[in-house]
């Protein structure tokens, strides 16, 4: 029986919170309960089965349920219920063999391939791909004579064919954590590779492997039943697939006979899948798809009226609250930001990552990530409250009057389309240009942002240009429609230092040439000093200080601002300023 | 692109050689009492030796394999040990039946899974929940059991469709369709369930990409984002799903053919497995591996078409 229960202890030592979360999920609880029932049935089969599964009572052939045969008799007069109970044991042993073989092989190979890489990974991946190209059932059929009637040997071979699932999963996970700092730290502190793998990396792969185990157990039960259904099992041993085969041969006399074994298989496998789903959901709480958007708390309902437009102010953000759904409530990421941007200014929105600066920028564009919502406050752009606008109205503004330059140039170009195609499409949409006009405009802009061969860039795919070129392309795309407001989200962060300066210079030129107002989201005071007129400093979703650039640099008010300035000065090696600024606040 | 394709074809040939060698070694290596099985318990030792000599089993395994391989590359897969038939022609008559079932199933699965998966990815909510439920049910119900239930309901109870049997397209197209409805239905259900889950995941992944935000920021319409950009980028992942499902369907067809008494490759394989008809089994394995390799190369070509990084290598 050890094999049968092997998959369950693996789930045992989970953090109590994870187990708790799984059991608090109604489906998770139901699935766990059903699996325990099946396991207990398998373990205590001799005690539970009322009759000998092989005992034939000739007058009970195809008898209806009742009269000592709880679910009726089969075509030979045997007790279907007792056979199902014993079948649980035989079926689970077979499935457990497949799962254990698959998990041992796959996880071990995956750990080594992920951790050591190189030829080892190449070889194992090739084997894994080859195994996945085989139709498992046909291979098991072909090997039937070689393996003999023992279903357990077949299930062992099937385990080998199932191992790629574990292998790929483990390898991906290990590659993900291999270069994490704590693994490096363990390595530097002298732990052997073996110890690191066992101690740290196994911890990471444990929960996903439990999920995979659950699913593979389901597959194994189905395939095993399939083999037995085809008559490739040991006829003297009751298994669910074998019982189903008996029912099939006898189907026209006793249709109910195919119902019970099918239900036993389906309910067991469904429980395994539901358990896997429950563990997966518990692991990613928060990211779990919640089907209803939580109610918006009453405190946000009292909408602040949009301010009366002021002369010379292009963008006026008041008391902006941005939040994301989190379980049954909302998690605020921006708590009441107020910011005015005057026409023609370049305003820096500065803060560490997670300070809410990017979320504020996305709120202006109405491009928050899935689920994100402006819960209260107003965003007035050129006299109109953007938070009141429909998606269609916003689309008319985006690209036309408000443009966006993203942070990471390569991931912001669609890899499947030529650069030209993805620039022409928006211009045709937004400005109503013909294809030829749009192309001419794009080529003009590509030349303007300093690309040496616009025609060639136009026809290139994103993977064929460098990061710096890609960022110029994105700037060209943003500016091509002469927007009034340009929102640039860390436009230089992902670039080499030399390219950074060129891109900033380009933005400065374009701003003057096109009379744009710019909101520059950045964590870098060097960028701020270079291009901004005003700065707003954000921390934990709030603006802690806002001032003209000169005043802010010469006389920072908030300790957080002083700390940020201090860290910049360290970076830029202006040693004279370093000591006083950094000491007091860095801690 | 051409080197890429040649590489894939090369990998396919290596796979074919490897699998046939291993399979041959395993199944010919365990043919200890084949002659006795064929001749029956009463056969004399001399008869058995004669039979083994006739089947070529008295030679060493490498010699047998070399002999088989030399003939196999010329399209000659030898004689069946249990029926008075050549292997290659009997495969040729049965394979189209299986292939048509699997091909129809793949096409249906692809379209239904695409519609369901995209709907779930875009709408979330109810459509999403329905797909989650279907996918659990589809995963949990073995296709042969579903097939039996379909027979009981539609053939025995309602009598809308024939319970078993197969009518070739040439005999009667209408009967051909009628004979395929239930088997294909039983076969595609679990495939649809798992494929639509994967399509959903791929589309959601594509819609969450940075470039989608950038395109939206430039005023590109949601319709174009979904149909032009997201689906194009979700295609490679979907094609991979298709190739995995194709392989699963080839195996699943073997059982379904048994349930519905369809004279395809699957029922031939089951009979050969039970009777130890080794040449037929070798023929089946080789045929199916070649099919899988060809299918994977087709998918690689589609993949290269969808993915400029691969195409322009």
**Does CATH number 1.10.3720.10 belong to domain B87-312?**
yes
Q: What is the ipTM of this complex?
A: 0.86
> B104 pLDDT band (50/70/90 cuts)?
very high
Q: Is the dihedral of CA A247, A248, A252, A256 positive or negative?
A: positive
Distance in angstroms between the alpha carbons of the first and the last residue of chain A? 58
Separation of alpha carbons B14 and A129, rounded Å = 12
How far apart CA A390 and CA A377 sit, in angstroms, is: 16
| A543 in a structural domain | no
Is position A326 within any domain?
A: no
Looking at the domain assignment, is residue A7 inside a domain?
Answer: no
Tokens 């649980």 belong to residue: A88
Q: What's the pLDDT at A271?
A: 92
Tell me, yes or no, whether A298 lies in a domain: no
One digit per residue, the tens of pLDDT, for chain A of length 587 reads 333 333 333 333 344 467 777 777 788 888 888 999 889 888 887 887 777 777 777 776 777 777 777 777 776 777 778 888 888 888 899 999 999 999 999 998 988 888 887 788 888 888 888 888 888 888 888 888 777 767 888 889 899 999 998 998 888 888 877 777 677 777 777 777 777 777 777 777 888 888 888 889 999 999 988 888 888 877 788 888 888 888 888 877 777 778 888 898 999 999 998 888 888 877 765 344 445 567 777 777 665 666 777 778 888 888 888 888 876 778 888 888 888 888 888 998 988 877 888 899 899 888 888 788 888 888 888 888 888 888 888 888 888 889 998 888 888 999 889 999 999 988 888 888 899 999 999 999 898 888 889 999 999 999 899 888 898 899 888 888 888 999 988 888 777 778 888 888 888 888 888 889 999 998 888 888 888 889 999 888 888 888 888 888 888 888 888 887 877 655 544 333 333 333 333 33
Q: What is the CATH number of the domain that holds A192?
A: 1.10.3720.10
B244 touches chain A (CB under 8 A): yes
Number of folded domains in chain A?
2
Q: How far apart are CA A408 and CA A471, in angstroms?
A: 8
Q: Do A289 and B136 touch (CB under 8 A)?
A: no
Query: What residues 188-207 of chain A have any CB closer than 8 A to a CB of chain B?
Result: none
pLDDT of residue A456: 92
Does this model's pTM top 0.90? My answer is no
3-state secondary structure A432-461: CCCHHHHHHHHHHHHHHCCCCCHHHHHCCC
In a domain, A333, yes or no: no
**What pLDDT sits at residue A2?**
34
Instruction: Indicate the DSSP class of residue A387.
Output: G
Q: Do B214 and A408 touch (CB under 8 A)?
A: no
Boundary (domain end) residue, out of A262, A285, A308: A285
Please tell me the distance in Å from B275's CA to the nearest CA on chain A.
8
Instruction: In chain B, list all ranges with CATH 1.10.3720.10.
Output: 87-312
Q: Chain B window 203-242: which residues touch A at a Cβ cutoff of 8 Å?
A: 208-211, 213-222, 224, 228-229, 232-233
What is the H or E stretch that residue B286 is in?
helix B278-306
Residue A161 maps to a domain: yes
CB-CB under 8 Å, B306 with A416 = yes
Q: Are the beta carbons of B140 and A266 separated by less than 8 Å?
A: yes
Interchain CB distance below 8 Å, B209 and A411: yes
Interchain proximity B136–A277, CB inside 8 Å: yes
The range of the structural domain enclosing residue A32 comes to 26-56+73-285
pLDDT of residue A293: 67
pLDDT in tens, B50-95: 777 777 777 778 888 888 888 888 888 888 887 878 888 888 888 9
Asked if residue A227 and residue A95 are part of one domain, the reply reads yes
Mean pLDDT over each residue of chain B, to the nearest integer: 84
Instruction: Encode pLDDT of B19-29 as tens digits.
Output: 888 888 888 77
φ/ψ bin of A134: left (φ > 0), alpha (ψ from -120 to 50), beta (otherwise): beta
Residue B250: how many other CB atoms lie within 10 Å:
25
Q: Does A525 touch chain B (CB under 8 A)?
A: no
The answer to whether residue A255 neighbours chain B at the CB level (below 8 Å) is yes
Is the CB of A395 inside 8 Å of chain B's CB atoms?
Answer: yes
Pair A280, A408 in one domain: no
Q: CA nearest A216 in B: which residue?
A: B139
> Residue A400: its chain B contacts at CB < 8 A?
219
In CATH, what number is assigned to the domain containing residue A487?
Answer: 3.40.50.300
A262 CB within 8 Å of a chain B CB: yes
């Amino acid at each position: 029986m050890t094999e049968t229960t092997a998959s369950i202890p693996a789930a045992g030592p989970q953090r109590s919170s994870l187990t708790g979360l799984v059991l608090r999920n109604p489906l998770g609880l139901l699935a766990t309960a059903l699996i325990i029932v099946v396991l207990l049935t398998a373990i205590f089969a001799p005690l539970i089965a009322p009759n000998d599964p092989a005992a034939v009572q000739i007058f009970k052939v195809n008898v209806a349920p009742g009269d000592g045969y709880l679910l009726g008799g089969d075509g030979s007069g045997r007790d279907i219920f007792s056979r199902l109970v014993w079948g649980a044991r035989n079926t689970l042993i077979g499935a457990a063999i497949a799962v254990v073989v698959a998990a041992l092989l796959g996880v071990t190979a995956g750990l080594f391939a992920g951790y050591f890489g190189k030829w080892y990974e190449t070889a194992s991946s090739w084997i894994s791909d080859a195994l996945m190209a085989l139709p498992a059932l046909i291979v098991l059929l072909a090997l039937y004579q070689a393996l003999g009637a023992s279903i357990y040997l077949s299930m062992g071979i099937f385990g080998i064919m199932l191992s790629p699932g574990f292998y790929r999963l483990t390898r991906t996970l290990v590659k993900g954590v291999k270069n994490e700092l704590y693994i490096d730290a363990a390595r530097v502190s002298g732990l052997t590779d073996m110890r690191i793998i066992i101690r740290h990396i196994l911890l990471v792969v444990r929960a996903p492997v439990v999920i995979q185990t659950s699913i593979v157990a389901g597959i194994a039960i189905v395939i095993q039943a399939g083999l037995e259904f085809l008559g490739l099992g040991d006829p003297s041993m009751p298994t669910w697939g074998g019982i189903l085969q008996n029912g099939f041969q006898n189907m026209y006399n006793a249709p109910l006979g195919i119902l019970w074994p099918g239900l036993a298989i389906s309910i067991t496998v469904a429980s395994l899948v539901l358990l896997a789903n429950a563990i997966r959901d518990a692991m990613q709480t928060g990211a779990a798809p919640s089907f209803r958007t939580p109610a918006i708390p009453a405190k946000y309902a009292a909408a602040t009226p949009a301010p009366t437009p002021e002369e010379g102010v292009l963008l006026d953000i008041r008391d902006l609250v941005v939040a994301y759904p989190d379980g049954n409530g909302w998690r605020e990421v921006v708590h009441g930001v107020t910011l005015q941007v005057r026409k023609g200014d370049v305003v820096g929105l500065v803060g560490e990552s997670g300070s809410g600066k990017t979320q504020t920028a996305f709120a202006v564009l109405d491009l928050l990530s899935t689920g994100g919502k402006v819960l209260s406050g107003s965003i007035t752009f050129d006299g109109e409250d953007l938070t009141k606008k429909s998606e269609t109205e916003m689309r008319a503004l985006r690209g036309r009057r408000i443009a966006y330059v993203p942070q990471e140039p390569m991931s912001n170009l669609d890899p499947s389309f030529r650069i030209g195609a993805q620039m022409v499409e928006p211009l045709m949409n937004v400005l109503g240009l013909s294809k030829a006009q749009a192309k001419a405009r794009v080529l003009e802009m590509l030349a303007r942002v300093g690309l040496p061969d616009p025609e060639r860039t136009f026809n290139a795919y994103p993977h064929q240009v460098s990061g710096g070129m890609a960022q110029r392309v994105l700037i060209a795309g943003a500016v091509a429609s002469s927007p009034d407001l340009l929102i640039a989200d860390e436009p230089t962060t992902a670039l080499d230092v030399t390219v950074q300066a060129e891109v900033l210079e380009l933005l400065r030129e374009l701003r003057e040439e096109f009379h744009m107002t710019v909101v520059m989201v950045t964590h870098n005071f060097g960028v701020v000093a270079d291009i901004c007129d005003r700065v707003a400093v954000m921390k934990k979703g709030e603006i802690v200080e806002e001032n003209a650039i000169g005043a802010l640099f010469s006389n920072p008010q908030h300790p957080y601002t002083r700390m940020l300035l201090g860290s910049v000065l360290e970076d830029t090696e202006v040693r004279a300023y370093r000591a006083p600024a950094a000491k007091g606040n860095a801690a | 692109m051409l080197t890429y394709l040649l590489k894939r074809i090369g990998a396919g040939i290596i796979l074919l050689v490897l699998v046939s060698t291993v399979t041959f070694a395993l199944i010919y290596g365990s043919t200890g009492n084949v002659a006795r099985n064929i001749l029956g318990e009463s056969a004399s030792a001399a008869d058995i030796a004669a039979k083994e000599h006739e089947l070529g089993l008295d030679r060493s395994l490498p010699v047998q394999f070399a002999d088989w391989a030399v003939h196999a590359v010329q399209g000659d897969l030898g004689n069946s040990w249990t029926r008075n038939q050549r292997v290659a022609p009997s495969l040729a008559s049965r394979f189209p039946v299986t292939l048509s079932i699997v091909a129809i199933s793949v096409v249906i699965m692809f379209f239904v899974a695409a519609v369901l998966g995209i709907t779930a990815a875009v709408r979330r909510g109810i459509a999403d929940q329905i797909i989650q439920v279907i996918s659990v049910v589809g995963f949990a119900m073995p296709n042969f059991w579903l097939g039996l239930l379909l027979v009981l309901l539609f053939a025995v109870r309602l009598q809308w469709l024939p319970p078993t049997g197969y009518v070739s397209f040439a005999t009667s197209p209408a009967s051909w369709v009628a004979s395929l409805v239930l088997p294909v239905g039983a076969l595609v259900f679990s495939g649809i369930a798992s494929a639509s889950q994967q399509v959903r995941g791929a589309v959601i992944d594509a819609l969450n990409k940075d470039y989608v935000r950038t395109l939206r920021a430039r005023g590109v319409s949601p319709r174009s984002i979904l149909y032009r950009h997201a689906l194009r980028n979700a295609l490679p992942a979907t094609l991979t799903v298709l190739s995995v499902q194709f392989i699963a369907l080839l195996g699943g067809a073997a059982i379904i053919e048994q349930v519905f008494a369809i004279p395809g490759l699957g029922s031939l394989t089951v009979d050969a497995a039970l009777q130890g008809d080794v040449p037929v089994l070798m023929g089946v394995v080789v045929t199916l591996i070649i099919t899988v390799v060809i299918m994977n190369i087709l998918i690689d070509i589609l993949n290269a078409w969808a993915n400029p990084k691969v195409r322009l290598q």
